[in-house]
Amino acid sequence: MTFRSSLAYAQRETPARSFRAVEYDLLARATHRLTAAWARRTTDFPALAAALHQNQQLWSTLAADVADQGNGLPAALRARLFYLYEFTAKHSGAILQGHGSVEVLTDINTAVMRGLRGEGGTP
């Protein structure tokens, strides 16, 4: 076996990212998109609608995960996260109808991100 081919089959030295790190990054991206789209809402409403939709898709995935019987989180935390999914859906609809702002959604995402980092603040 040549040196190059042995490198191709070598184990990667970079460890896989944790689920918490992936969830944190997804929430951070969604929060950034919401903030940027809100700043341009009067000139690019479709971008705001897309950012709200992407955030809602993320929360829908999180809700499906916490609703699963095999989820290892405490039941009370799972219930709060599911409630945040429901709230996010309702508030996103209100924003699209011209009521409210994305600030509460970005606050929710940020609080969950703090919890994922172990800083507390998980709703």
The answer to the question of residue 1 being in a domain is: no
Which is more confidently placed, 18 or 53? 53
The answer to the question of residue 75 being in a domain is: yes
> What is the per-residue pLDDT for 18?
84
The answer to the question of residue 28 being in a domain is: yes
The model's pLDDT over 13-25, given as tens digits with 9 standing for 90+, comes to 556 778 889 999 9
Domain total in the chain = 1
> Does 123 score more than 90 pLDDT?
no
The answer to the question of residue 12 being in a domain is: no
Listing DSSP states for the chain in one string gives: --HHHHHHTSPPSSPPPPHHHHHHHHHHHHHHHHHHHHHTTTT-HHHHHHHHHHHHHHHHHHHHHHHSTT--S-HHHHHHHHHHHHHHHHHHHHHHTT-S-THHHHHHHHHHHHHHTTSS---
State pTM to two decimals.
0.81
> Does 77 score more than 70 pLDDT?
yes
- Mean pLDDT, residues 33-55: 98
pLDDT band at 7 (very low <50, low <70, confident <90, very high): very low
> Does 2 score more than 90 pLDDT?
no
> What is the per-residue pLDDT for 120?
58
The answer to the question of residue 5 being in a domain is: no
The answer to the question of residue 121 being in a domain is: no
Question: For the ranges 46-50, 101-105, 116-120, which has the lowest average pLDDT?
Answer: 116-120
The answer to the question of residue 111 being in a domain is: yes
Range of the domain at 68: 17-116
- Mean pLDDT, residues 93-99: 96
> Does 34 score more than 90 pLDDT?
yes
The answer to the question of residue 122 being in a domain is: no
